């Protein structure tokens, strides 16, 4: 072959301009990014090791400490989505052979179990059907039975719409010498959570839900107890990229005078994340919780007055509606996308086919957005095919 000639021609499709539609993002995520946060991300790219970027990272760290209600020094944002933070939490704390317990009341406990299994943990789960949650007594029983080193729980189970109560669980975990890991990707900023007071050892969230930043960064924080286990492990974590000793240095959390290159931080994503935290600081956490709660109640009343049933919704950010009888749920979501330019979604994992899911998060949590979804649903129920049931 002629080594000096290209054999793959330039693709025609890349010669057309980029087109991205405007859309109402009222599914379980990502949510719409307000112009202020989008514009922050359009600032110039400078070096990920430049002092200005370290200042921005310090701002982000303070913002996360406020958002999480924690004094933890080991607080940072991983480069990646919610799943990256999940793996960062599990890969750093769990060693092969460790016992891990996950609470499964939707897809997230299943995924956490799979991640722990992949690195050779002994994994057990407590399981309840979609829509359910666990009492502290049930959790204590499982802690006693399995003696796990780590217990995983989703605060906001976005696949089923359940907001899991947290009070007392951290204390139970500590009684049995277990770390308490909480996923708050779908709930943080939209429902009350107090990392330190609730004894949570590892907490993470995502940028693309209540924070209204683009997907791609994931705030995470580790308690002193979690750090004790992580920095005294016998084997190195399987992931170099997610190794907390490296990340701690990159985020200036290890007390060392200088930071070493680990990976190229997504600086423009940091700008947006910083701005999204600044927006939250301006509104105040309690006001944000309050607004999400009030809008959720207004939205739920509207749904019920249309004759729709809620799937035990308690989560103020993501509402699960029992899939209306006689309809194919896909007809409803596609009709609403086509006719109203609005995203809502079907179920996920164990809730597939059972529910429709609507997310009203961050700036999207408003009566105006709720009214738009209600009108779109009303229209869809009139126009989509309904079988006789």
- Provide the binding-site residues for ligand PMP, judged by CB under 6 A: 28-29, 81-83, 108, 154, 156, 158, 183, 185-186, 206, 215
Nearer to ligand PMP, 156 or 170 (CB): 156
Please provide the distance, in angstroms rounded to a whole number, between the alpha carbons at the two ends of the chain.
Answer: 65
Structure tokens at 163: 């907001």
How, if at all, do strands 99-104 and 122-127 pair? parallel
Closest approach, Cβ 301 to ligand PMP, in A, equals 24
Could you say which DSSP state residue 80 is in? S
23 marked among binding-site residues? no
Nearer to ligand PMP, 81 or 221 (CB): 81
Closest approach, Cβ 36 to ligand PMP, in A, equals 22
**8 Å CB contact between 203 and 332:** no
Distances (CA, A) of 2 to 71, 87, 386: 62, 45, 61
Nearest residue (beta carbon) to ligand PMP: 82
**Taking Cα atoms as reference points, which of 216, 188, 211 lies closest to residue 364?**
211
In this structure, how many other beta carbons lie within 10 angstroms of the beta carbon of residue 168? Answer: 13
Closest approach, Cβ 361 to ligand PMP, in A, equals 10
Alpha helices (H) along the chain: 35-40, 51-68, 82-93, 107-118, 136-146, 169-175, 224-230, 244-250, 267-283, 285-305, 329-340, 367-383
Closest approach, Cβ 351 to ligand PMP, in A, equals 12
Number of helices and strands (H, E) in the chain?
12, 14
Closest approach, Cβ 170 to ligand PMP, in A, equals 19
Report phi then psi at 290, rounded to 5.
-60, -45
**DSSP structure string for 310-324:** BSS---SSEEEEEPP
Structure tokens at 131: 């829509």
Closest approach, Cβ 8 to ligand PMP, in A, equals 32
Closest approach, Cβ 348 to ligand PMP, in A, equals 7
State the sign of the Cα–Cα–Cα–Cα dihedral 260, 265, 267, 269: negative
Rounded-to-integer distance, Cα 189 and Cα 212, Å: 11
Which segments are annotated as binding site?
357
Which segments are annotated as binding site for substrate?
357
């Amino acid at each position: 072959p002629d080594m000096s000639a290209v054999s793959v021609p330039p693709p025609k499709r890349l010669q057309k301009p980029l087109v991205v539609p405007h859309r109402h993002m009222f599914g379980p995520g990502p949510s719409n990014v307000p112009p202020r946060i989008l514009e922050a991300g359009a600032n110039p790219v400078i070096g990920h090791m430049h002092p200005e970027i370290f200042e921005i990272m310090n701002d982000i760290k303070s913002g996360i400490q406020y958002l999480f209600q924690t004094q933890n020094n080991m607080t940072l944002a991983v480069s990646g989505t919610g799943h990256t933070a999940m793996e960062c939490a599990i890969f750093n704390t769990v060693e092969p052979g460790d016992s891990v317990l996950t609470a499964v009341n939707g897809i997230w406990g299943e995924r956490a179990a799979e991640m722990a299994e992949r690195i050779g943990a002994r994994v057990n789960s407590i399981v309840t059907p979609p829509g359910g949650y666990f009492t502290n007594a049930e959790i204590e029983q499982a802690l006693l039975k399995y003696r796990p080193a780590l217990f995983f729980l989703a605060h906001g189970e976005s696949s089923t719409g359940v907001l899991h109560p947290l009070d007392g669980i951290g204390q139970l975990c500590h009684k049995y010498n277990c770390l308490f890991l909480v996923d708050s990707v779908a709930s943080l900023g939209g429902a009350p959570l107090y990392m330190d007071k609730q004894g949570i050892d590892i907490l993470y969230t995502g940028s693309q839900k209540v924070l209204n930043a683009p997907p791609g960064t994931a705030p995470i924080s580790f308690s002193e107890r979690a750090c004790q286990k992580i920095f005294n492990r016998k084997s190195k974590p399987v992931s170099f990229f997610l190794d907390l000793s490296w990340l701690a240095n990159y985020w200036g959390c290890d007390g060392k005078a200088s930071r070493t290159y680990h990976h190229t931080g997504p600086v423009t994503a940091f700008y947006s994340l910083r701005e999204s935290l600044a927006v939250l600081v301006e509104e105040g956490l309690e006001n944000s919780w309050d607004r999400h709660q009030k809008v959720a109640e207004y939205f739920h009343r509207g749904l019920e007055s249309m004759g729709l049933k809620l799937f035990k919704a308690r989560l103020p950010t993501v509402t699960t509606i029992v899939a209306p009888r006689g309809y194919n749920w896909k007809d409803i979501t596609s009709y609403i996308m086509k006719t109203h330019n609005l995203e809502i979604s079907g179920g996920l994992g164990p809730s597939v086919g059972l529910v429709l899911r609507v997310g009203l998060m961050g700036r999207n949590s408003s009566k105006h957005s709720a009214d738009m979804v209600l009108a779109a649903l009303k229209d869809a129920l009139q126009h989509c095919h309904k079988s006789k049931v």
